Amino acid sequence: MRFHVDAVLFDIDGTLVDSTAAVVRSWTAWAARYGLDAEEILRVCHGRRSEDTIAGFLPVGEQAAGVAALAELELADLDDVVALPATRALLRDLPADRWAAVTSGSRVLMRARLAAAGLPVPEVLVSAGDVSAGKPDPEGYLKAAAALGYEITRCLVVEDAPAGIGAGRAAGAHTLAVATSHPAVELAAADAVVPDLTACTVERTADGLVVITTAGRAGPRPSWSGA
């Protein structure tokens, strides 16, 4: 497929950065502290803001302290955070004013994980604290497109989680899923699904970008892509 767009909007964890081991350790330690089932939390936390996940497990009066406790655990655990395949090359090919990141994590944590992975921090980074509602709500992606100065319908959202794909589609963006953390079948709502970003290349044009996928499958909306 060929996505003709003005800008690319990336998720971070699971899309640009592999932080899986650190995420599992942090949530497991957090769950133990509160006497909760870590496996149950890990089944629902990916791609969502920490505060939204924690709201399902702690009483209202304990949630703020719970969020702070998790943030402390996460910032202390960056040892296994690495760049996912092809992310350095892909970001290098993108002009700084034509890509952004939209994350369910905090700004401090995401900057730390990008740095640990040796990846650049984008000029536009929309974090959990910048939105009133997390993914699958489209607010984050709408804000990122606006900050870059492009129409969301001319942007490509790249995500690894169903909640993120849902957010991109709700915003009106084109969507590309990378099956790095979820099986491809769980990402079928995306316009295209690839194993990871090694299956993608970017070409600059006079008026934007062309993102080309060289593997994977087409999703439910192929007609606009120019394939």
The residues assigned a catalytic role are 11, 13
Task: Tell me how far apart the alpha carbons of residues 129 and 108 are, in angstroms, rounded to a whole number.
Answer: 10
Which residue, 204, 215, 205, is CA-closest to 93?
A: 204
Cα angle 114, 128, 197 (rounded to 5 degrees) comes to 40
For 2, other C-beta atoms within 10 Å of its C-beta total 12
Sequence-distant (6+) residues with CB within 8 A of 52 are 104, 134
Per the omega criterion (within 30 degrees of 0), is the bond before 138 cis? no
150 residue type, one letter: Y
Task: Tell me how far apart the alpha carbons of residues 103 and 9 are, in angstroms, rounded to a whole number.
Answer: 10
In 202-214, which positions are buried (b, 16+ CB within 10 angstroms) versus exposed (e)?
beeeeebbebebe
> 76 in helix, strand or coil?
coil
